[in-house]
Amino acid sequence: MEKILISKKQGFFYSLKKRVVSSRFLIMMIIPAIIYYAVFCYIPMYGVLIAFTDYNSYLGIMGSVSQNWVGFQNFQEIFRYPHFWDTFKNTIFIGSLKIVISFISAVLMALIINELRMRFFKKFAQIVVTFPHFLSWVVVASLFIMILDNTGVLNNFLSKNGMEPVHFFADPHLFRTLLFSSDVWKEAGWSSIIYIATMAGISTDLYEAADIDGATRLQKIWHITLPGIKPTAILLLIMSVGGVLSAGFDQIFNMTSRLTNPDVIDAVNIIDTLVYQFLQTGMPEGQSTAIGLFKSVIGFALVITTDRIAKLCGERGII
Partner 1 sequence: MRKSITLVSLGALLSLSALTGCGGKVDKSDKYTKDGKLKISLRNLYFDNYRGGDSYLQELERQFQVKFSFNAYSWANWNTQVTGEVNGGNTPDVFHANVDNYNFKNYYLKWIDNKVVKALPSDLSRWENIAALFENTTNKEALKINGHYYGIPIAKNTSDPSTTYSPFTYMYRRDWAKQYGVYQPNDEYTWSQFENLLKTFANKFAGSGRYALGDDKWGYPSIVNFYKQVPHCFAYDETTHQYVNNYTTDEYIVGLQKSRDFMTKGYYYPNENTAKDGDVTKLYYGNKIGVLFDNFSYANFYKAKAALIKSNESVSNFNADDATAIMKIKGEDGKYALEGTDNWFSMTFFDYRISDNKMEKMLDILDWLLSEEGTRFAIYGIEDYDYEIVDGQIKLIDAYWPIDPKTGRYAEKNNGGKYIRYLASLGYDTLTYDPLSDKDVINYLNSWDQDMKTALENNELKVLKERAEVMWLVTDKKSSYCSIMRDDALKYVRQYIGGSISSIDKYKDKFGYPWPEVLEEINNYFANK
Partner 2 sequence: MAKVKIEKLPLAKKDKPGPSHKFGRMDVVLFIILLVFALLIIFPFYYLFIVSITPPDIYMNNPAVIWTPRVTFEAYKGVFEDRNIWNGFGITCILLFGGTAYQIFFTTITGYALSRSKWFGKNFVMNMILVTMFFGGGLIPYYILIKSLGMTNTIWVMIIPGAIDTFNMLLMRNYFASLPKELEESARIDGANDVQIFVKIFLPLSLPMLATVGLFFAVGNWNSWYNGMLFNSDYSIRTLQQVLQDIITEPSANIPILNPERVNEENFKTAAIFFTIIPMMMFYPFLQRYFVKGIVVGAIKG
List residues bridging with 53 in a β-sheet.
69
Residue 3 or 80 having the CB closest to partner 1 = 80
Residue 286 near which of partner 2, partner 1, none (CB within 5-8 Å, type-dependent): none
Least distance from partner 2 to the Cβ atom of residue 2, Å: 28
Least distance from partner 1 to the Cβ atom of residue 149, Å: 6
For residue 208, what are the contacts with CB-CB under 8 A and spacing of at least 6? none
Least distance from partner 2 to the Cβ atom of residue 176, Å: 19
Residue 39 or 100 having the CB closest to partner 2 = 39
Task: List Cα–Cα distances, 316 to 51, 113, 236, 305, 312, in angstroms.
Answer: 36, 27, 11, 14, 9
Q: Give the C-alpha separation, 194 to 110, whole Å.
A: 8
Residue 7 near which of partner 1, partner 2, none (CB within 5-8 Å, type-dependent): none
SS3 69: strand
Residue 281 near which of partner 1, partner 2, none (CB within 5-8 Å, type-dependent): partner 1
Quick one: which of 201, 172, 203 has its CA closest to 94? 172
Residue 53 backbone phi and psi in degrees, to 5? -130, 170
Least distance from partner 2 to the Cβ atom of residue 69, Å: 16
Residue 170 near which of partner 2, partner 1, none (CB within 5-8 Å, type-dependent): partner 1
Least distance from partner 1 to the Cβ atom of residue 264, Å: 8
Q: Give the C-alpha separation, 228 to 204, whole Å.
A: 11
Residue 232 near which of partner 2, partner 1, none (CB within 5-8 Å, type-dependent): partner 2
Residue 47 or 92 having the CB closest to partner 2 = 47
Residue 179 near which of partner 1, partner 2, none (CB within 5-8 Å, type-dependent): none
Least distance from partner 1 to the Cβ atom of residue 5, Å: 17
Q: Crossing angle of helices 285-312/271-280, nearest 10°? A: 170
Q: Give the C-alpha separation, 233 to 243, whole Å.
A: 16
Residue 268 near which of partner 2, partner 1, none (CB within 5-8 Å, type-dependent): none
SS3 166: coil
Q: Crossing angle of helices 119-130/172-200, nearest 10°? A: 130
Least distance from partner 1 to the Cβ atom of residue 169, Å: 4
Q: Where do contacts with partner 1 occur on this chain (CB under 8 A)? A: 38, 42-47, 49, 55-62, 77, 80-83, 145, 149-151, 156, 159, 169-170, 172, 257-258, 260-263, 265-266, 277-285
Residue 206 or 267 having the CB closest to partner 2 = 206
In contact, 191 and 126? CB cutoff 8 Å: no
Quick one: which of 97, 75, 93 has its CA closest to 84? 75
